[in-house]
Structure 1
Amino acid sequence: MTRDAADSLRPEAAGPIGAPGADGLVVRPMDDGDAEQVLAVYQAGLDGGQAGFETTAPSWRDFTAGRLAHLCFVAVDPGSGAVAGWVAASPVSSRCVYAGVVEHSVYVHPGHRGRGVGRLLLGALVAACEEAGIWTIQSGVFPGNTPSLRLHEAFGFRVVGVRERIGRHRGVWRDVVLLERRSTTVGT
């Protein structure tokens, strides 16, 4: 992403971020009014079997408990308010030396996959992280989730390694590809 493109995605006080993107969608900060739709998108991703170890989306309270509110966004249709996807980040540790390191998740509604929604959301997150002084964004992705791996690669994420048989998912041991994006401007 170019610096100009990242600048166009910078957060504005609770309003849309940047110009409309995929399918005319806009990215804006996530709020409590998005709870039902965000959790439905999350559940749809979990049901597909390639998005996470969980099998059931948590309650809204549990979902938001560990997340950094200023690094949680939704892509919405400005006319209907329908949520097409979301991205959210959490701190990796409470230790001060890791203050600039977050882990994120990005989920796209099945009806919007392949239309650039993930790109729109991840672009917003990267820009917001740069502005917030975050120097590392990390994520774990199942090896079979090729669209997610390609999306992350497009934003400068690199494979750090593969955590083999790190957890059981639906009774099967699964590997996780550990990805990270290091800022070229923050923490250098």
Structure 2
Amino acid sequence: MRVRVATVADAAGIAIIYNQGIEDRVGTFETQLRTEAMVASWFDDIHPIVVVEQEQEVIAYASTSSYRARPCYAGIAEFSVYVRRDWRGKGAGRLAMTQLLQESAAAGFWKLLSRVFVENEASRGLLRSLGFREVGIYEKHGQLDGIWRDVVIVEYLLPSNLATASFDQSSRHTL
């Protein structure tokens, strides 16, 4: 397995993996399958995205996206990690997240956060092993297929950027 920063050329492979997550109903409230063009729109030169490859096929990815529009949250990013079905449990998610943490620190972010379905023990275990902290549970956070689902809030503080008081998204550098 090889991990690297993703490019727009990886959008089709990322869409396949994300769509598996949507279909499996284990990692997202989303129900609409994504196209390559939809995933290509994620690439904004601000939020890191990484992929894990095996024999030049994308088998996993981890991505960041905007958390909130208010300037005080500019250094915080939401993240996601997804692994192709046939590669789950083989270390690809760990590899993707480890690289995403490095890329996020280099981009100047000071915190990554997400919400994970409470029953998704594989993701929760991976994130805990990487130093993510579970900070609480949002009960009945959303409905998926007509069923209320609870999510665990997870966060990771990027120590190299904690002393920074602000973040300029236009330059991707801490101020």
Same fold per TM (> 0.5)? yes
Q: Report SS of the residue matched to 2:131.
A: coil
The answer to whether the 8 Å contact 1:106/1:118 transfers is yes
> Is 1:34 the equivalent of 2:10?
yes
- Number of positions where the alignment pairs a residue of Structure 1 with one of Structure 2: 162
Distance in 2 separating the partners of 1:83 and 1:145: 22
The corresponding residue for 1:62 is: 38
Q: Report SS of the residue matched to 1:175.
A: strand
Question: What RMSD in Å do the two structures reach over aligned CA positions?
Answer: 1.5
Q: Report SS of the residue matched to 2:161.
A: coil
The corresponding residue for 1:170 is: 145
Task: For 1:88, give the aligned amino acid.
Answer: S
The answer to whether the 8 Å contact 2:76/2:113 transfers is yes
Q: Give CA deviations for 1:37-77 in whole Å, capped at 9, x if unaligned.
A: 21111111122211111123323333343554450111012
Equivalent positions of 1:7-156 (< 5 A) are: 25-66=1-42, 68-69=44-45, 71-77=48-54, 80-156=55-131
Percent of counterpart pairs with the same letter? 32
User: TM-score if structure 2 supplies the norm length?
Assistant: 0.86
User: TM-score if structure 1 supplies the norm length?
Assistant: 0.80
Deviation at 1:29, TM superposition (A): 1.9
More strand by share: 2
Task: For 2:7, give the aligned amino acid.
Answer: D
Q: Which runs of 5+ in 2 are unaligned?
A: 164-175
Q: Report SS of the residue matched to 1:51.
A: coil
Q: Which runs of 5+ in 1 are unaligned?
A: 1-24
Distance in 1 separating the partners of 2:44 and 2:65: 5
Task: For 2:24, give the aligned amino acid.
Answer: G
Deviation at 1:34, TM superposition (A): 1.7
